[in-house]
Amino acid sequence: MAYDEHLADRIRELIAGERRVTEQRMFGGLAFLVGGNMAIAASGQGGVLVRVDPEKADALVARTAAKRAVMRGRPMKGWLRIAPDHVRTKRQLATWVDRGASYARALPAKRKR
C-alpha cells in the first residue's frame, strides 16, 4: 500500500516552521526528519508513524488512540502508530506532528553522510 499523499501534504504544512526538516522515503511511507532524526511519517500502512520518547510511549498508548508500532514482528520502543481516523482533523494531526518534532529536536542532530 502506498502512503497517503494528501496526509503527507498535511504533515508538510504543519512541520513547515520547523528548522532542519528533510523528507525521506522509509518504512513504506514518507518520513519527515528534524536534524536527521525521524519525527513523523505518512505510513504506507495508513495513518502516521510517530517517534516519541520511549519513556512516554506507554502513557501515550494508555491515554490516546496510539498503538505501539510493530516492525518485523517486534514492538518498537518509542514508535507509535496512529490510525487514519485519529488524524482526520488538523488539530488531531498537529498534536502528533508536535510530539514527533519535539522528540526529534531533543535528539543530537545527525551528520549528513
**Per-residue pLDDT reduced to its tens digit, 37-48:** 999 999 999 999
Q: Note the pTM of the prediction, 2 decimals.
A: 0.94
Q: pLDDT at residue 113 above 70?
A: no
pLDDT digit string, tens, across residues 84-108? 999 999 999 999 999 999 999 999 9
pLDDT of residue 2: 86
Q: Where are the domains of the chain?
A: 5-106
Beta bridge partners of 81: 49, 67
Asked whether the beta carbons of 27 and 44 are under 8 A apart, the reply is yes
CA distance readout (Å), 63 to 16, 59, 67, 86:
28, 6, 10, 13
Residue 30, amino acid? L
- Reported CATH class of domain 5-106: alpha beta
